[in-house]
Amino acid sequence: MTTRPDASRAPRSASILKARLIEAHRHEFEAGLAWAADDPMVEAAAARITGARRRFVLGAATSFTYASLLAAKLSNSLAQVTLVDGTIVRPLDILSDVRASDVLIVVSLRRWRGYTIDTALPFAAAGGALVVITDSEDNPLVEHSTEAIIIRPDIASRQQSDALSMHPESPEVSPTVVALVIDILTTLSSASAKGAGRRFTERERLASELGLYRD
């Protein structure tokens, strides 16, 4: 039998900190919803992804977590989605065979990693389309991108509190807003793709047949 922790023993400072975190994230998510509703670049990026023949997804450090989520969600309905993980699929593997019908989707949040920039710039120079998800117009990839989803500074700026600035290398954009962008982007990309519904249904059938899930 699992014993639930006694909430009365929790330090009052932890409760205060939790309340501040929740309030800060609530504010950021509400601002993120308003921004996403008005920014046309999300639709433009989705159209670019849908129209590509091959789709590569790239990110480093914390951005790699978001890139992995993005690649997984796109793979549910679209073919030819590849996560560039630096081990199984290396930058050299994709840069040696860039086609005009390819798209590289880059998640690049501050602080921007040289690994990401050094992979994305040659890809764009070779003629591939570059879609960037970032939190600042100052990102060096923006000027080379085909489409750039720039999460507005007022959303990306974390409140100046101990609760949201504990780690100096943490991205300034809210994880909730990044997840929101990924969800909208992948849903729009899949909705207009030919055969997306059939592919998703077939994946679900195979998952059931292989017993992948334990409902």
Q: What is the pLDDT of residues 7-28, one digit of tens each?
A: 556 577 888 888 888 888 788 8
For residue 208, give every residue at least 6 positions away whose Cβ sits within 8 Å of its Cβ, in sequence order, or none: none
Greater pLDDT, 97 or 20: 97
Q: What is the pLDDT of residues 140-173, one digit of tens each?
A: 999 999 999 999 756 655 444 444 555 444 456 7
Q: What percent of the chain has pLDDT over 70?
A: 75
Pairwise CA distance, residues 187 & 93, whole Å:
28
Pairwise CA distance, residues 115 & 96, whole Å:
16
pTM of the model: 0.80
CA separation (Å) from 34 to 155, 173, 177?
10, 15, 11
Instruction: Provide the 8-state DSSP code for 126.
Output: T
pLDDT value at residue 199: 60
Instruction: Decide if pLDDT at 90 tops 90.
Output: yes
pLDDT value at residue 168: 45
Kindly report the average pLDDT of the chain as a whole number.
Answer: 83
Worst-scoring range by mean pLDDT, 46-55, 64-73, 146-155?
A: 146-155
Q: How many CB atoms lie within 10 A of CB 151?
A: 24
pLDDT value at residue 167: 46
The C-alpha angle 30, 179, 55, rounded to 5 degrees, equals: 140
**Nearest 5°: phi and psi at 103?**
-135, 140
pLDDT value at residue 200: 59
**What are the b/e assignments for 177-195, b being 16+ CB within 10 Å?**
bbebbbebbbebbbeebee
Pairwise CA distance, residues 197 & 85, whole Å:
27
The C-alpha angle 117, 122, 127, rounded to 5 degrees, equals: 130
CA separation (Å) from 99 to 53, 96, 146, 172?
9, 10, 15, 34
Nearest to 85 by CA among 116, 112, 44, 110: 116
